[in-house]
Amino acid sequence: MAGSNFVDYVKIFFRSGKGGAGSPHLRREKFVAKGGPDGGDGGRGGHIILKGNAQLWTLLHLRYQKHIFATSGMAGGQSQSTGANGEDVIVEVPLGTVIKDAETTNTIAEITEDNQEIILLEGGRGGLGNCHFKSATNQTPRYAQPGEESKEAWFILELKLLADVGLVGFPNAGKSTLLSVVSAAKPEIANYPFTTLVPNLGIVQYRNNSSFVMADIPGIIEGASAGKGLGLRFLRHIERNSMLLFMVPCDSDDIKKEYQTLLKELEIYNPELLDKNRILAITKSDMLDDELMDEMKQDLPDIPYIFISSVAQKGIQGLKDLIWDKLQ
């Protein structure tokens, strides 16, 4: 997924369609005297509908659409003919899209399933024609209802990636390298911090044609929960992951401290993240011998852990097994 093509935040002004006016028409035919009211109802205005599409991975297609309007309903006609409804606008979004009111930032809805639809803004109802207002004391009403006004507002669409496993670690911890080894994803990899500027998704094949989805999240730094580095922009992608795979390189000064720092940033951002299953992968461990690994095990966090090396393919299958067991 090219960096320039990954868009996970858009702000759009939506407006539904106005309802069509009812008709005040009176029946007038050559041989029918005082035919009475025969005005039809106005048509409903078009809805604004958001629909989940499992084939979409980004909000790129909405990046340059700042205004989206539905059409209005048509006015009613004579002979009690109802006006045509306005055309609904269906906006397709990737799964994991959160819709927020731009003014209050309150969450309105979330799209998590393929083909799931929500009506974001209802179109205005059509007005009633004058035939509805005929009574014993008013045989020829010459008025009808106007259509309801349209609804409009600014909304924020935020994408939170849906993945089984989210990779959590400081920049240059080996997250992108692992994803490139276990899946067909091709993230940008280099030996400097913040190589990954956008989340990457990869499908990891497992035994018996099973698979799970892994997300490489741009590296966290201390203070990310307060917006430092790439900060809050990407922490939200971790919220939807079923489990978290913490990655700390074996040459870290203090593996346990680095893990605790990562955990603290997640807790500050959203305490519920600590309820997720966690695994620790000590990366770049091809440079370690058994004696050194045994020594390091004495001071590791109290969670399931595994020593791996993506480059040397060390411990990769064991990591897949550990992840699969946790996911089940």
Cα 11 to Cα 156: distance, rounded to the nearest angstrom? 4
The vertex-143 CA angle with 140 and 146, nearest 5°, equals 150
As a whole number, mean pLDDT of residues 307-319 equals: 87
Q: Tokens 């045509």 belong to which residue?
A: 84
Domain with CATH 2.70.210.12 in the chain: 1-159
State what percent of residues in the chain have pLDDT above 90. Answer: 32
pLDDT given for residue 33 in this prediction: 65
Cβ–Cβ under 8 Å, residues 231 and 266:
no
* Residues 248-261 pLDDT 10s: 888 888 888 988 98
The CATH class of the 165-327 domain is: alpha beta
pTM over 0.75: no
Six-digit token string for 242:
């079923």
pLDDT in tens, 147-192: 999 999 999 998 887 778 888 888 777 777 888 888 765 544 444 4
Nearest residue to 169 via CA among 112, 103, 220: 220
CB of 174 within 8 A of CB of 284? yes
Task: Provide the CA 113 distance to its chain's centre, in angstroms.
Answer: 10
Give me 111's structure tokens. 């799209």
Residue with more model confidence, 190 or 273: 273
Residue-level pLDDT at 224? 47
**What pLDDT, on the 0 to 100 scale, is given for residue 106?**
93
pLDDT digit string, tens, across residues 199-236: 777 788 888 888 888 888 776 655 544 454 454 556 77
Give the pLDDT confidence of 86-106 residue by residue, as tens digits.
Answer: 999 999 998 889 999 999 989
> 1-159 — its CATH code?
2.70.210.12
Which residue ranges does the chain devote to CATH 3.40.50.300? 165-327
pLDDT of residue 159: 86
Under 8 Å between Cβ of 137 and 100: no
